[in-house]
A = this chain, B = another copy of it.
């Protein structure tokens, strides 16, 4: 066959595909092939490659020539292997049709099960299974799923037909409906199908198959999938593959079951027992959808689960026995595959299995999603177990996920009123206002509020809202429910399946019998599963020990990029040092101006009529600021401290509202008119582009002079105590060479004067922020005098895009949703645009001064992709908030390792 191969068979102990063919076969297809080759009992089938998806998308939904014949050939092979025929009235082959791209996207792509059932073959199914109800339920599920996924008939329309039948029959549960009842439901379904689609439900299995394949390929570009890829930054894929696979049934009787399991605990990373959930007499969808409460795989797991749910051992054994108890033989086989799979893939696996009449089938294995804790623990454990090396371990943990690891926890000393308990689905803690829909979540978060998304269960439509919520609370679903899986992936706190929660409508809910309205505050503890009333104090974790510290140590061994912190107080500085900061990259002096009563002195300075008056007030501020610097220098002993001179416009220190002006005037003993006049005279239409930064230093030299004096008085005093001080004076908002020359000269003059007076010689640097585009353009000339550059990519982003951070929220979400921007450029450095400026600035700066020290300060310094960019661009350091230092350290290590490899 000289033609290109589009379809790859697996089954009968061997497969045409392999694990390393993910790009072509998708993750699922490649793994099914690999598992088949590993002699794992996988239901046979075939995979239509992602190339077909690409051709289909680009070719106006036309398949490549010859595909139909190739599918037909593979289907025949499958029928031969299984000894069944698609649509056969006596011995029908049923297949599933599933999507699967190279990167796992849970719940985003569509799936059709039980394909091949029709009015004839349903009889064959009944015959084969000896279970009429099962046969009709399978048929019902098929038409419902096919109608929904392939033809867009609303899920709720089907549910209504089913509910009407239940009401008619006076029963509560689906399972209470008999085979005959279900046959009536089928009539309703078919009628519904005809009404909604204008055609009859297709009886021809070939038509069913092709329509399903079309739907899977078509779903690659549905808005949810596109959005998921945007949020998760998934790029460069051809498309999804389609897996057509023999159906096995976990729901054809009480000797059947289906489940999901992880080779290690995806929440904690622990390896103490086999972690997983299953449901007896159910299909796989039932486990993931969270509509029934799943049971545990192991006895130990089951017992712990029951304890957390306050279920007695007797009730547990009766109602929720573990697989180890209910199907011990299958459990043993499963446990063997668990070990085999992890050894083979050298990573924690997420496996789906089905037990069909006592026979175990593995449906899928893939790299399991995990929490940060789990990721770290698994990576470090596996290194210790000899499965992977240190570099691999370091590469295994997505740095952004550490955010979750480092997230605040509930203060153990806080008094908490627990109003409900659910599953600890994703660890950490979150405080926020209740919202009931993803839309509300996006709206309120857009206003800057912290929200907790409270839902019966979540679905892929909720992705946007989940992404902006602080935490997620659901009434239904297990640890592998949509909410739990997605929340862990996002590093968000989640309590799932909280049976104390009832949501009658989208305006209020009941938790533990108490009513809560939209906007009321609750706290979630994702580590314990507790739901707590009101706002509870959260505290930062101490990530200085255990596996985390170990992994960080390894990261530090590999990285070359230094990581500094943004810190304005000795407390912050100490905290940052603990988290691994190698210096302060940004100490904002204005924060000190706001502290306590000082702001009154600052105001006195601003209200002064002349330089003499300003100097008088500044003289009072000097010892205060000196004290701050001394505190910071002491903490940072031996590490550099970059101090930025005053940056914000002066009006930020004055009130704006009339009543506040009046109050302050009274307090300061000046007239309202005088104060009001000053406030008005300082008003700016665009403060971001106004009289701030070094512009203040030029027009009011006394301000910067005082600050520099305070820095060097502090440095001399602290150094005299035998502490090593490395001040780096940083001039903000430089746009012209001369601004820097003037202010550098001032700094040097005062530094030398103070050091002479103090008879101390402090090693110091004078450098500049590069945050104005024009500074980039003249960076070669600035570098003639500057001893370091620190890219202020916050302002640089504002100016490069012409976006005000304070205002852009109005259109930025529209821009991201419509794909104009891939990411919020304030969160992740825009490499295409702003990145060019940064690179140009570095190039020009280093052209003048080969070894110019260059760093970045601001939000981007703690964003993994941005850190990767900074490493690639040749910076010496990044500086970020204390809390994000481990993220930056890990990202820096990965940036280095990645470049070694290529």
A801/B774 in contact, CB under 8 A? yes
Contact segment of A671-679, A830-838, A882-890: A830-838
Q: How far is A742 from B778 in the complex, measured between Cα atoms in Å?
A: 34
Question: Could you tell me if A689 and B736 are in contact, using CB atoms closer than 8 angstroms?
Answer: no
Which of A258-266, A493-501, A590-598, A690-698 contacts its partner? Answer: A690-698
Contacting A777 at CB < 8 Å: which of B698, B738, B800, B819? B800
Cβ of A815 within 8 Å of any chain B Cβ, yes or no, is yes
Q: Contact at B820–A742, with CB atoms within 8 Å?
A: yes
- When A685-B806, A686-B686 are in contact, do A801 and B772 touch as well, CB less than 8 Å? yes
Partner of A837, one of B685, B773, B810, B819: B773
Min C-beta distance of A3 to chain B, whole Å? 36
Partner of A833, one of B774, B795, B807, B810: B774
Report yes or no: A689 in contact with B798, Cβ–Cβ below 8 A. yes
A820 to B738, CA, bound (A): 5
Is A446 part of the binding interface, using a Cβ–Cβ cutoff of 8 Å? no
B777 x A837 contact (CB < 8 A): yes
Decide if A814 is an interface residue (CB 8 Å cutoff).
yes
Task: List the B side residues contacting A811 at CB < 8 Å.
Answer: 691, 695, 698-699
Please indicate the chain B residues that have their CB under 8 angstroms from the CB of A699 in the complex: 810-811, 814
Say if the beta carbon of A66 comes within 8 Å of chain B: no
Q: A698-B814, A698-B818, A802-B733 are in contact. Are A684 and B807 (CB under 8 A)?
A: yes
A339 CB within 8 Å of chain B: no
Task: Specify which chain B residues have a CB less than 8 angstroms from the CB of A836 in the assembled complex.
Answer: 777
Q: Are B735 and A804 in contact (CB under 8 A)?
A: no
A539 to chain B, nearest CB (A): 33
A821 touches B689 (CB 8 A): no
Query: Could you list some 23 contacts between A and B, CB below 8 A?
Result: A685-B806, A685-B807, A686-B686, A686-B688, A686-B689, A688-B689, A688-B802, A689-B804, A690-B804, A690-B807, A691-B807, A698-B814, A698-B818, A736-B820, A736-B821, A738-B818, A738-B820, A739-B820, A772-B800, A772-B802, A777-B836, A777-B837, A799-B799
Smallest Cβ distance from A682 to chain B, in angstroms?
Answer: 9
Residues on B with beta carbons closer than 8 Å to the beta carbon of A738: 818-820
Q: Interface size (A, Cβ < 8 Å)? A: 48
B837 in contact with A689 (CB, 8 Å): no
Binding site for B on A (CB under 8 A): 684-691, 695, 698-699, 733, 735-736, 738-739, 742, 771-774, 777-778, 795, 798-804, 806-808, 810-811, 814-815, 818-821, 830, 832-834, 836-837
Q: What CA separation (Å) do A820 and B778 show in the bound complex?
A: 13
Bound Cα distance A695, B733 (Å): 27
Query: Is A834 a contact of B774 with CB atoms below 8 Å?
Result: yes
Contacts of A691 in B (CB 8 A): 807, 810-811
Interchain CB contact under 8 A, A804 and B684: yes
- Chain B residue nearest to A797 (CB atoms) is B774
> Which residue of the partner chain B has the closest CB to A825?
B774
* A687 proximity list for chain B (CB < 8 A): 685-686, 807
Looking at the assembled complex, report how far the CB atom of A718 sits from the nearest CB atom of chain B, in whole angstroms. 34
A698 surroundings in chain B (CB, below 8 A) = 811, 814-815, 818, 820
A227 shortest CB reach to chain B, Å: 15
Residues of chain B within 8 A of A833, CB atoms compared: 735-736, 773-774, 777-778
**In the complex, which residues of chain B have a beta carbon less than 8 angstroms from the beta carbon of A808?**
689-690
What are the residues of chain B within 8 A of A771 when measuring CB–CB?
A: 802
**Cβ-closest chain B residue relative to A772:** B802
Residues of B within 8 A of A830 (CB): 774
**Of A689, A778, A821, most B-chain CB atoms within 10 Å:** A689
With CB as the reference atom, state the residue of chain B lying closest to A802: B772
A802 with B735, Cβ < 8 A, contacts A686-B686, A686-B687 known: yes
Closest Cβ of chain B to A298, distance in Å, is 51
B832 touching A802, Cβ below 8 Å: no
A689–B777 contact, CB under 8 A?
no
When distances are taken between beta carbons in the complex, the residues of chain B under 8 Å from A810 are: 690-691, 699
Measured CB to CB, the nearest residue on chain B to A688 is: B686
Q: How far is the CA of A771 from the CA of B739 in the complex (A)?
A: 25
